[in-house]
Amino acid sequence: MAVINVNGKALNHNADPRTPLLWVLREQLGLTGTKYGCGIAQCGACTVLIDGAPTRSCQAPVNSIGAKKVVTIEGLAADGKLNKIQAAWVAVDVPQCGYCQSGMVMAATALLAAKPNPTDADIDSAMTNICRCGTYVQVREAIHAAAKA
Amino acid sequence: MTIHQTSLGRRRFLVSSAAVAGGFSLAFSIPFDADAQSPVKELNAWVVIHPDDKVVIRIARSEMGQGTLTGLCQLAAEELECDWTKVTWEYPTPNENVKRNRVWKNFSTGGSRGIRESNHYVREGGAMAREMLLAAAAAEWKVPAGELKVDKGVITHSSGKKTTYGAVAAAAAQLEPPKEVKLKDPKDWKIAGKPVKRLDTLDKVTGKQLYGIDFTMPGMLVAAVRACPVIGGKLKSFDAARVEKMPGVKKVVAIDGNAVVVVADTYWNARTALAALPTDWDIGKLGEVQTETINAMLKEGLDASEAFVGNKVGDAKTAIDGAAKKVTATYSFPYQHHVTMEPMNATARYTPEKCEVWCGTQNGEAALAAASEASGLPTDKCDVHKMLLGGGFGRRGRSDYVRQAVLVAKEMPGMPAKLIWSREEDMTHCQYHPTTMAKLTGGLDAQGNLVGLHIRISGQSILASLLPQNLQNGMDPVVFQGLMASGVESAYGYTVPNLLIDHAMRNPHITAGFWRGVNTNQNAVYMESFMDELADAAGQDPLAFRLKLLKPKWAAVLKAAADKAGYGKPLPAGHFHGLAQVMGYGSYVAGVAEVSVSPDGALKIHKITAATNCGHVVNPAQIERQVAGSFAYGLSAALYGEITVKDGAVEQTNFDSYNLMRIDEMPKVETVLVPTGDFWGGVGEPTIAVAAPSVLNAIARATGKRVRNLPLMHHELQKAS
């Protein structure tokens, strides 16, 4: 048994230490909001925050996490209240199929934490997640809306 | 672990809101409202109303991001006159549809047909339910139903009596449905036609939304699959002993003679063992096929004497031969991959009495048929529980992954197994957008009028690959999408006095399939790029040149886009406009791209202005999103989309070798809706076709260079010297 801190809780798992955090979250801890898209840290669907830094969990072995704090999409809403990124996502009606949106919301949460008033250029460089439905126009709009909220 | 033998997860699933630490989140079922034991009775196949006024609308089509779910609910709710804030939805299953004599009709969700082909009967479902609810209240109050009024599910009578749909629903469910109902005039719509929010958003921003890949049930095992890297090749041998003792591995099996599967306790363990599994394949002569050999096959077809004629007016060859000026150009379009964000997957559980599948699918009935065929059980002993799709784009219209999951489950009766394709498996085993080439030859008279046009398409047929029974005397009519002589689906908009559009079918072994926009995509690249080439040769403006030839509906939408974009007016220095139009999926669309190309050849797509006439507008906000998304999809393909073949196998394996557009390359998109209200057109696909040609035409204006082969990433775009 090993322990990792996810969404403020110490959680046990028995995965092989080299297992990517993504699969520990999904298959050991039941946190399926973090998605598998490519497994090679390209698409961003698996983005989580590790000590606040947006990280592609498909390329982070679980034994590299140690005592660091992991936050997943399930950990953003406090007491059922959406964070301001999620609220903006709902207000702008961003998702289409929605599969990439957990990663998008996590990346945007990290961006706004670092830059409360991001420019379009900041958004371009921070938001490298792939969306195939093409929600990019609404993602940009929602990030600006969240910054103003 | 023992297997739950309850009818776990019938139909729609909810998941406990807090995932349980240290264990699986548990999926459980809510009773389907048509269940005999349920106290809540349906009013008809489409509408169920609960005592608390909750309205459940049944949706047979699949939701994959395109918004059909919300649009169909709007249409049913509009006729029902219910409170929109009380509307929710559920999927009936394909098995239920079989048992009820296909009461929900077609489950297939492709060809942008979700709303345009089912709006009438879904609206009727809502209207009939309304009539029954009013009749129940009238009977209770002993007044004529015609004296009642209803607003947002509240029924009132001039005597002061008042009730709600929830209160009369049980009595209404006992009544005979009306034989006929009159549907509302769209000008009176209050819910439909409005930019209401989607019904499926919240769970997608909290991580609660379950896709097929997230599905789990007690005792479920997980499988990783590797099929022969060469499509059409066979499995020769594999050495299961090498991996059977690896952590978590339960079983190693071959399926269909062309794939190996490792079943384990988790996907990670299954995948790790699969990677270590030695396999040997029999690929035969297919191993000699390269992209170059496929291209040579297509090139030969460009001048072949035999071809299927798709559209013919007058005598194009004679007109071109006698023309004052002759213009010829050859274009090509590569294989492309759909790349749904969620890789293919399905969960299946088989017993000799029953086979159940849980998956995202664009075609529940086809998935049911696949489950039946793979399990060997009749369809009434099979069922498919549809999950939301993490992208479809045509890929999930096929059921190859369903078949595989059922074959694996059949190896372990009673044990549920989820089969997940790795991204690499997904990338290399698709039904790809077909590759074609086209040679276009036009003749202009001395005044620059187009007197003759021949378009020879050479290349792959989707029907020949997937549905050969649908070929018509060997011809694939779908090849001519956007170029067809007539019809309400995909007709050619230009009036050319002498026209020949024909197809030399050349079918490589790579499986071809329906890919969002399908054949309108490359046909619009060929046609709309060449229209600019013809306009240049005629010394005319490309808009004016087109408007002289276009039929009224096609012309109107192009003009709407051009007007909104300010076409012909001064642009910022270095910016150029390019135009394109097409009719597809029953709708008329046009786009104007504004681009610049820097001196070192860097392309910037600044803005797209897009016009759509889809007849009726059910949700303008969702149409805007489909139009913007269509440009993301179409431009991603234009910039990067290319699948190549080496030694018979697809070379691209993941996003590092198959690049996709990110937010930094996404242009601004302005959408203009110009609905004429006289037909029902689709929205999810048509606009994709104008993305590439509008940008290619703008690039040609900016650089003087005409790009005739996609993707753009292979081209140096510095200004022609």
Average pLDDT over residues B518-526: 98
Contacts of A45 in chain B (CB under 8 A): 341
Q: Report helix, strand or coil for B297.
A: helix
- Among 1.10.150.120, 1.10.40.30, 3.40.50.80, 3.30.70.270, what is the CATH number of A84-148? 1.10.150.120
Average pLDDT over residues B493-509: 98
Give residue B113's domain range.
31-204
Give the whole-angstrom CA distance, residue B10 versus residue B346.
16
Contact B663 A134 (CB under 8 A): no
Interface size, chain A vs chain B, as Cβ–Cβ contacts under 8 Å: 202
Q: Are residues B556 and B681 in the same domain?
A: yes
pLDDT of residue B719: 81
**Could you give the ipTM of this predicted complex?**
0.99
Phi, psi of B382, deg, nearest 5: -125, 155
pLDDT digits (tens, 9 = 90+) for B108-151: 999 999 999 999 999 999 999 999 999 999 999 999 999 999 99
Contacts of A138 in chain B (CB under 8 A): 625, 628
Asked whether the beta carbons of B472 and B543 are under 8 A apart, the reply is no
Which of B90, B95, B96, B98 has its CA nearest to residue B69? B90
Indicate the helix (H) or strand (E) that contains B281.
strand B279-282
Contact A98 B342 (CB under 8 A): no
pLDDT of residue B721: 65
Supply the DSSP symbol for B323: -
Q: Are residues B240 and B360 in the same domain?
A: yes
pLDDT above 60 (res B666):
yes
B36: confidence class by pLDDT, cuts 50, 70, 90: low
Domain contains B370: yes
Give the whole-angstrom CA distance, residue A97 versus residue B625.
12
Contacts of B267 in chain A (CB under 8 A): 23, 26-27
Contact B655 A140 (CB under 8 A): no
**CATH code, domain carrying B106:** 3.30.365.10
Average pLDDT over residues B365-380: 98
Contacts of B222 in chain A (CB under 8 A): 27
pLDDT digits (tens, 9 = 90+) for B65-105: 999 999 999 999 999 999 999 999 999 999 999 999 999 99
Contact B22 A12 (CB under 8 A): yes
Contacts of A42 in chain B (CB under 8 A): 654-656
Give the whole-angstrom CA distance, residue B561 versus residue B672.
7
pLDDT of residue B37: 59
B window 461-520, beta carbon within 8 A of A: none
Asked whether the beta carbons of B90 and B390 are under 8 A apart, the reply is no
Indicate the helix (H) or strand (E) that contains B439.
strand B436-444
Domain contains B218: yes
Contacts of A74 in chain B (CB under 8 A): 18-19, 206-208
Contact B207 A135 (CB under 8 A): no
Q: Beta-strand (E) ranges in B335-414?
A: 345-351, 354-359, 382-386
Q: Could you say which architecture CATH assigns to the domain A2-75?
A: Roll (3.10)
Q: Are residues B470 and B444 in the same domain?
A: yes
The DSSP secondary structure of chain A, one letter per residue, reads -EEEEETTEEEEE---TTSBHHHIIIIIS--TTS--S-SSSSS-TTEEEETTEEEEGGGSBGGGTTTPEEE-GGGSSBTTBPPHHHHHHHHHT--SS-TTHHHHHHHHHHHHHH-SS--HHHHHHH-----SS--HHHHHHHHHHHHH-
Mind telling me how many Å the CA of A64 is from chain B's nearest CA?
A: 17
Give the whole-angstrom CA distance, residue B562 versus residue B609.
8
Q: Are residues B36 and B163 in the same domain?
A: yes
B106 contacts: CB under 8 Å, gap ≥ 6:
B60, B61, B113, B117, B118, B365
A window 41-60, beta carbon within 8 A of B: 42-43, 45
HEC sequence for B29-98:
ECCCCCCCCCCCCEEECCEEECCCCCEEEECCCCCCCCCHHHHHHHHHHHHHCCCHHHEEEECCCHHHHH
Count of domains for chain B: 3
Determine the straight-line distance between the first and last CA of chain B, rounded to whole angstroms.
72
Which of A58, A64, A72 has its CA nearest to residue A109? A72
Which of B450, B632, B639 has its CA nearest to residue B532? B450
Domain contains B122: yes
Q: How long, in residues, is chain B?
A: 721
Which of B449, B508, B437 has its CA nearest to residue B320? B449
Contacts of B631 in chain A (CB under 8 A): 134
Contact B19 A39 (CB under 8 A): no
Name which of A20, A97, A128 is nearest B65 (Cβ-Cβ).
A97
Contacts of B25 in chain A (CB under 8 A): 30, 32
Give the whole-angstrom CA distance, residue B596 versus residue B592.
13
Task: Enter the tokens of residue A130.
Answer: 């792939």
Indicate the helix (H) or strand (E) that contains B280.
strand B279-282
- Same fold flag, A2-75 and A84-148: no
Task: Enter the tokens of residue A47.
Answer: 């983005």
Among the three residues B158, B186, B204, which one is the final residue of a domain in this structure? B204
In chain A, the residue whose alpha carbon lies closest to the alpha carbon of B392 is A97
Q: Are residues B117 and B229 in the same domain?
A: no
Contact B629 A11 (CB under 8 A): no
Contact A90 B201 (CB under 8 A): yes
Contacts of B629 in chain A (CB under 8 A): 96, 133-135
Q: Are residues B296 and B259 in the same domain?
A: no
Contact A93 B629 (CB under 8 A): no
Q: Are residues B676 and B545 in the same domain?
A: yes
Name which of A38, A82, A96 is nearest B625 (Cβ-Cβ).
A96
Average pLDDT over residues A93-109: 98
Contact A89 B205 (CB under 8 A): yes
Among the three residues B170, B204, B238, which one is the final residue of a domain in this structure? B204
Contacts of A124 in chain B (CB under 8 A): 663-664
Q: Are residues B301 and B415 in the same domain?
A: no
pLDDT of residue B9: 34
In chain A, the residue whose alpha carbon lies closest to the alpha carbon of B25 is A30
Contact A20 B268 (CB under 8 A): yes
Contacts of A34 in chain B (CB under 8 A): 207
Task: Enter the tokens of residue B638.
Answer: 């234009």
pLDDT digits (tens, 9 = 90+) for B618-651: 999 999 999 999 999 999 999 999 999 999 999 9
Whether A9 and chain B come into contact, CB under 8 Å, resolves to yes
Give the whole-angstrom CA distance, residue B75 versus residue B680.
13
Supply the DSSP symbol for B332: E
| Dihedral of alpha carbons A22, A27, A33, A35, sign | positive
Domain ranges within chain A, ordered by starting residue? 2-75, 84-148
Contacts of B218 in chain A (CB under 8 A): none
pLDDT digits (tens, 9 = 90+) for B404-422: 999 999 999 999 999 999 9
B window 269-308, beta carbon within 8 A of A: 269
What's the distance, CA B62 to chain centroid?
A: 10
Among the three residues B392, B420, B448, which one is the final residue of a domain in this structure? B420
Contacts of A11 in chain B (CB under 8 A): 21-22
Domain contains B24: no
Which of B617, B665, B661, B672 has its CA nearest to residue B636? B661
Contact B633 A125 (CB under 8 A): no
Q: Are residues B468 and B582 in the same domain?
A: yes
HEC sequence for B151-201:
ECCEEECCCCCEEEHHHHHHHHCCCCCCCCCCCCCHHHCCCCCCCCCCCCC
Using N-to-C axis directions, what is the helix angle for B688-703 and B519-538, rounded to 10°? 30
Average pLDDT taken over every residue of chain B? 94
Our CA angle for B102, B478, B583, nearest 5°, is 95
Q: Are residues B399 and B303 in the same domain?
A: no
Contact B390 A97 (CB under 8 A): yes
Contacts of A76 in chain B (CB under 8 A): 206
Q: Are residues B275 and B330 in the same domain?
A: no
Q: Which residue has the tokens 């619009």?
A: B524
Q: Which candidate in B28, B214, B266, B341 is best for mutational testing of the A interface (most A CBs within 10 A)?
A: B341
Contact B66 A32 (CB under 8 A): no
B11: confidence class by pLDDT, cuts 50, 70, 90: very low
A window 25-44, beta carbon within 8 A of B: 26-40, 42-43
Whether B664 and chain A come into contact, CB under 8 Å, resolves to yes
A window 85-144, beta carbon within 8 A of B: 86, 89-90, 93-102, 105, 123-125, 127-140
Contact A129 B22 (CB under 8 A): no
Average pLDDT over residues B576-584: 98
pLDDT above 70 (res B527):
yes
User: Which is it for strands B249-255 and B162-164: parallel, antiparallel or unpaired?
Assistant: unpaired
